[in-house]
Structure 1
Amino acid sequence: MAKGRVSKDEWTMAALRALARGGVAAVAVDVLAKELGVTRGSFYWHFENREALLVAALETWERHGTAEVIAAVKEVDDPLARARTLFAEALGDEEIAGLEPALAAQVDHPAVAAVVARVTRARLAFLEEVYTGLDFGPAAARHRALAAYAAYLGWLDLRRTAPDLAPEAQLRDPGSAAALDHLVDMILAPGAPGAPGDPGTGTGAVRE
């Protein structure tokens, strides 16, 4: 039977690809069934309705793109190596190109808004933890977490919206490695000891 040939995970990944292509409106059961080579009946084997598929897809993105990445990076003991591992993972190959900018543009949908909020909260909290491990005080760690996350989102948006104007953002471009190294160096640049706005005890000096 057709319903036995396609797993729930295959449906959710197809839904995420559709989200990257055209937002929530692109998550159409008949279109995805055709893409997967199955009948509409296969969909109802796994999901009650389209909204259930959308939620499952978003939760898959949340798990793969945030929870699993954080868990893996936490295994790295050295604080500076942990930070570099995080940014290398975040700025490297995208499992589904353009998905994150596409989701950011769809936060008017309640299901998308809820998951994007959870993901943003978790990522910022972990970035603060990473910077705290680099001896930044609370305020500086928060500010750097915000700046680093903004740089991350902007980099992905450049890949999606300006591939010709900013080719270095594309991983296959000859200049991408140098551009990424420069971005990470900026994100991790040490701060001046006792810098204004940092009431914490950390000096903001990245350990070498």
Structure 2
Amino acid sequence: MSKADAKSRLGRTDWVLAALRALVRGGIGAVRVEALARDIGATKGSFYWHFKDLRELHQVMLELWEDVATHRITGAVQASGLDPRGQLMLLADMVSVRPGEAMGGIEIEPALRDWGRNDPRARAVLERVDRQRLKDLTGFLRAAGVADGELLPKAQLIYAAVIGLEQLRLTTGVEMGPALRGLVKRLVE
């Protein structure tokens, strides 16, 4: 395939993934049309074929991350056919997997959280994702037999552990899976 053929086949997703990687490398200020075009070997015109402006790209970045970070993971766990405790262990395993480099790798969620500190749209998506994740965790815990009065505190502990372990993975290289599985197991015994 020639270079021209590769460029002509670039789609919205290519731009969004490049933008997520740029976000990880340098924050939202690094998500610039010229830099993205250079990174993926495209023209600025290609960008404007797919997006009206950077604001639209930012929105699509947030939408993709929200879908991957919530619905796709929960859907895969629910479709697994495992019993409720098995689903919780699968969930722990899935959120412990290192995100692929295509979406920015292990630094993608911290980069999104940094973006949300200064951008109301990003913050709104982060808040929605956090609420959805807690709701999903509460549902999985309920199905596993956790008492109603313990659902939210246990969901919050698990979610706080996920966020904390993500940070430790960045700074120390620790793998999240064993600690998260151990915590989930203790909370549903």
Give the TM-score normalised by structure 2. Answer: 0.88
Q: Does 1:127 align with 2:124?
A: no
Aligned to 1:158: 168
Shift of residue 183, structure 1, vs aligned partner: 3.1
Aligned to 1:33: 37
Shift of residue 115, structure 1, vs aligned partner: 1.2
Aligned to 1:196: none
Q: Distance in 2 between matches of 1:188 and 1:139?
A: 18
Q: What SS is found at the alignment partner of 1:88?
A: helix
Q: What SS is found at the alignment partner of 2:10?
A: coil
Greater RCO (Cα-Cα under 8 Å, separation 6 or more) = 2
Identical pairs, percent: 32
Among 133, 149, 155, which residue is 2:159 paired with?
149
Read off the aligned partner of 2:186 and give its amino acid letter. Answer: A
Q: Distance in 2 between matches of 1:182 and 1:156?
A: 12
Q: Distance in 2 between matches of 1:182 and 1:5?
A: 42
After superposition, the CA RMSD in angstroms is 1.7
Shift of residue 114, structure 1, vs aligned partner: 1.6
CA deviation string 1:70-128 (max 9, x = no partner)? 11111233011100100100011212220101111221202211211111111110000
CA deviation string 1:133-152 (max 9, x = no partner)? 12112231110111111110
Aligned to 1:195: none
Among 181, 185, 188, which residue is 2:182 paired with?
185
The 8 Å contact of residues 92 and 177 in structure 2, kept in 1 or not, is answered as no
Read off the aligned partner of 1:91 and give its amino acid letter. Answer: S
Aligned length: 179
Aligned to 2:62: 58
Shift of residue 64, structure 1, vs aligned partner: 1.7
Runs of 4+ deviating beyond 6 Å? none
Q: Does 1:115 align with 2:125?
A: yes
Q: Distance in 1 between matches of 2:48 and 2:179?
A: 48
Unmatched runs of 5 consecutive residues or more in structure 1 = 170-175, 191-204
Unmatched runs of 5 consecutive residues or more in structure 2 = none
Q: Distance in 1 between matches of 2:148 and 2:27?
A: 37
Read off the aligned partner of 1:75 and give its amino acid letter. Answer: A
Q: Does 1:72 align with 2:76?
A: yes
Q: Distance in 2 between matches of 1:140 and 1:114?
A: 27
Q: Which has the higher helix share?
A: 2
The 8 Å contact of residues 141 and 155 in structure 2, kept in 1 or not, is answered as yes
